[in-house]
Amino acid sequence: MPQNSSRAVGRHFLQIPGPTPLPDRVLRAMDTPIIDHRGPEFAKLAKRCLDGIKTIFKTSNPVIIYTATGTGAWEAALVNTLSAGDRVLMVETGQFATLWKVMAQKLGLRPEFISGDWRTGADAAKIEDYLRKEPIRKAIDAAGHPALLMVDTISSLASTDYRHDEWGVDVTIGGAQKGLMLPPGMSFNAISDKALAAAKSSKLPKSFWAWDEMLTMNKIGFFPYTPATQMLQGLAVSIEMLHEEGLDNVFARHARLAEATRRAVRAWGLEILCRDPKYYSPTVTAVLLPDGHDADAFRNLALDAFNISYGASFGPYAKRYFRIGHLGDVNDGWQVGALASTEMALGLAGIPHKKGGVQAAMDYIVAAHSGGARAAAE
Ligand SMILES: *Cc1c(COP(=O)(O)O)cnc(C)c1O
């Protein structure tokens, strides 16, 4: 924004990979009087949420809803199923994997960390060295191993296909502030029968996170302590919106915006941080800047000039990349606008790049839509 102005005009381009922009409909659903969380109206709301969230995780088992960010749901997953000294196999895919490992250590668990360079995903072949055969679930079963499979889907749930039951996951950790298009402050544990059984013998101390009390109270439509009523009002509506669009359409939209963004980055002649297309994220693209250019300075300049925020950088590549989010309530035109702002910001910052990224993104989006139209007509 100009230096002599204190107002940023228009909508902020919140291109961080969560929290994501809130749809007006979710905002309005939350802008309602507080209801009694022990009353009959609440029980109806809780039922909508507790039943609805199962369709998002694709599970017929209960899903626990916590008033906490994703980190709380990580802790819940660990303390409900494990005991001091238990070993946890983890893969160093990036920042969050590293934080989760540190948490496991703090809780008195023994993480075994398969190291990585932050530029690829979890490699089943490397896990095979530990657990014999891929894919991961099969490896665990084939080894006759009592291990539980836990998956952090905070940045992917409700943005790309995910099937808790079918894929044999024991605890799935989710968060509200990404694909679910809600404010931060709510997170989830979807749990398998095996995880429930493990909870019976788990010895790590737990109170707030304990699944058993939650499950008992949830059965009658209530929570053991004051639930985040307004977040639940929003959640009921966000689940409704996802189904109105159709989950498969939600996933296709995220895949399309992700590919359009990558095409823009390549057309600019810049490098995508992720080395292997197999591990590309449908929700965020990290862009490496040429040597000698500070990504934090670039983000600040883009924010000032074009009212756009990108995800920050961490770890071994800190200050060398910025992340463009493409998740949540984002459509084609919005993402193209974000890419146009980015192309302008690259120009303004004097970062060497080629023009035509926005055009490449638009060409891809048009082709994706006309392919879809043709397929529908056939
Ligand atoms: C965003 C994100 C988190 C965030 O955890 P919070 O406690 O909600 O900040 C954790 N894991 C992954 C994979 C994420 O993308």
Confidence of residue 124 (pLDDT cuts 50, 70, 90): confident
The neighbouring-strand residues paired with 144 are: none
Q: What is the pLDDT of residue 372?
A: 59
What percentage of the chain carries pLDDT values higher than 70? 94
Q: Which helix (H) or strand (E) holds 150?
A: strand 150-152
pLDDT digits over 338-373, tens only?
999 999 999 999 999 999 999 999 999 999 999 855
Atom number of ligand 1 nearest to Cα 175: 8
Can you say how many angstroms the Cα of residue 195 is from the centroid of all Cα atoms in its chain?
A: 22
Mutate to test the pocket of ligand 1, among 92, 151, 154, 189 (most ligand atoms within 8 A of CB): 154
The residue to which tokens 């998002």 are assigned: 56
Instruction: Write down the mean pLDDT value for the chain.
Output: 94
Question: Do residues 231 and 183 touch, judged by C-beta distance below 8 A?
Answer: yes
Going from the Cα of 187 to the center of ligand 1, the distance in angstroms, rounded, reads: 10
Query: Which is the closest atom of ligand 1 to the Cα of 177?
Result: 8
- DSSP conformation letters of 225-261: S---HHHHHHHHHHHHHHHHH-HHHHHHHHHHHHHHH
The set of protein residues with a Cβ atom below 6 angstroms from ligand 1 is 18, 69-71, 96, 152, 154-155, 175, 184
Pseudo-torsion of CA 35, 36, 40, 45, nearest 10°? 50
Q: Are 2 and 187 in contact (CB under 8 A)?
A: no
- In terms of pLDDT, which residue wins out, 127 or 84? 84
Q: How far is the CA of 100 from the centre of ligand 1 (A)?
A: 10
Amino acid (one-letter) located at 111: P
Which atom in ligand 1 lies closest to the alpha carbon of residue 156?
A: 15
What is the pLDDT at residue 127?
81
